[in-house]
Amino acid sequence: MLIDFFYTLRSAKLPVSIKEYLTLLEGLQAGLAERDGQPSVEQFYFLARTTLVKDEAHFDKFDRAFAAYFKGAQMLADFTQEVPLDWLRRTLELELTPEQKAAIEKMGWDELMATLKKRFEEQKERHEGGSKWIGTGGTSPFGHSGYNPQGIRIGGAGRNRSAVKVWDQRAYQDYDDTKELGTRNIKVALRRLRRFAREGNELELDLDDTIHRTAANAGLLDIKMVPERHNRVKVLLLMDVGGTMDEHIHRVEELFSATKTEFKHLEFYYFHNCVYDFMWKHNRRRFSEKHSTWDVIRKYNRDYKLIFVGDATMSPYEILQPGGSVEYNNEEPGAEWLQRLTHAFPKYAWINPEPQGVWGYRQSISIVQQLMQQRMFPLTLQGLEGAMRLLSK
């Protein structure tokens, strides 16, 4: 059984070796995959990942291979649920006419927060199809699978994208920086930003001149060296992940992979929707291993080119309002942090994977464009060339 599992991991292009496989077997013999004396799938998952995967960049590949081999078994984190799951189980689909939708009044931010707190205190059971309580399929501003022009989505998936806050625990995946590119156009566009400079006395082989000189020397090897060229462009890449960005994973992975190939001096961090007082390097540990935004600003020099990658699609409150984050209660609005970053790194641009034709219909994109001084470009070949041309000035 485990031999087939081993070959499944190899087929998924995970660099697992025979030695690591034998270590897994030793762990099984020692009872490390047991809990209270009984075999545990969860313990086996962690044992297998610990012994077989030596690089965190391969965790997502391992999870997919593990789930595929064990017929879709998934390891679910033990999140504490603030709202009983039964309240959020959808059993009907709400359909409203445009006139009925127009008749539903929306609350302001402060009123929404105060009312939600009151509902938590008062509600004792599941509700569905109503206009007041936390539930599903109704016109209440709290819950999911219904309709409200401005509410707080709790659980479920977004349909109308009208929620001003999302009360949800989500697991994001790191972008795959080894993803094979379907086209070289992205790399060609990024090269517009590259600048080379000869620095120091380090030498590198001049292959063309060596071949020419050797041929001219009747085949006797004549090695020629030239000063090594160093790519001196420094890039700080901040990438939005999760939520509406899930629709753009493939294209952003291509961009990320090309960026890591083209720029020797690259630093990257993740954020969700808008930048606040911390960012992270690994999405699985985004709350346990935070990187202060102030530390990022202080750590890198002003000569770094700052590139945001995100769809800028969110509630305007997430940008302009303290406490607007969908993840936690941020003390300062995202707009403040965006302004601090663009002040610290004068060469900056925002790459947006959303079609440029929809930008004018989303208030949050317009706000981010203003904060970016209109330095927002679409994730297209022409858009990337424009962004690189701006950053290289």
What percentage of the chain exceeds 70 in pLDDT? 65
Domain boundary among 69, 95, 118: 69
Q: Is residue 128 part of a domain?
A: yes
pLDDT, tens digit, 9 for 90 and up, residues 2-21: 788 888 888 888 888 888 88
Residue 49 and residue 112 in one domain:
no
Q: Region 40-66: what's the mean pLDDT? A: 83
Nearest to 9 by CA among 83, 77, 70: 70
pLDDT, tens digit, 9 for 90 and up, residues 170-199: 555 565 544 443 445 666 667 666 554 444
Q: Is residue 179 part of a domain?
A: no
Residue 238 and residue 362 in one domain:
yes
Q: Which residue has the higher pLDDT, 78 or 161?
A: 161
Residue 363 and residue 271 in one domain:
yes
pLDDT, tens digit, 9 for 90 and up, residues 119-169: 666 666 665 656 666 656 566 666 555 555 566 555 555 555 544 455 444
Q: Flag whether pLDDT at 64 surpasses 70.
A: yes
Residue 130 and residue 226 in one domain:
no
Dist CA 248 CA 250 (whole Å): 6
Q: Is residue 303 part of a domain?
A: yes
Nearest to 248 by CA among 390, 57, 378: 378
pLDDT, tens digit, 9 for 90 and up, residues 87-120: 444 444 455 556 655 555 566 656 666 776 676 6
Domain with 8, as residue range(s), is: 2-69
- Say which range, 65-74, 93-102, 225-234, has the weakest mean pLDDT: 93-102
Strands 127-128 and 135-136: parallel
CA distances from 251 to 177, 201, 238, 246, 378 (A): 12, 40, 15, 10, 12
Q: Region 211-224: what's the mean pLDDT? A: 80
- Say which range, 28-32, 33-37, 116-120, 356-360, has the weakest mean pLDDT: 116-120
pLDDT, tens digit, 9 for 90 and up, residues 323-363: 888 878 889 999 999 999 999 999 999 999 999 989 988 99
Residue 90 and residue 116 in one domain:
yes
Give the model's pLDDT for residue 169. 47
Q: What are the tokens at 194?
A: 């590259």
Q: Is residue 74 part of a domain?
A: no
Dist CA 217 CA 180 (whole Å): 42
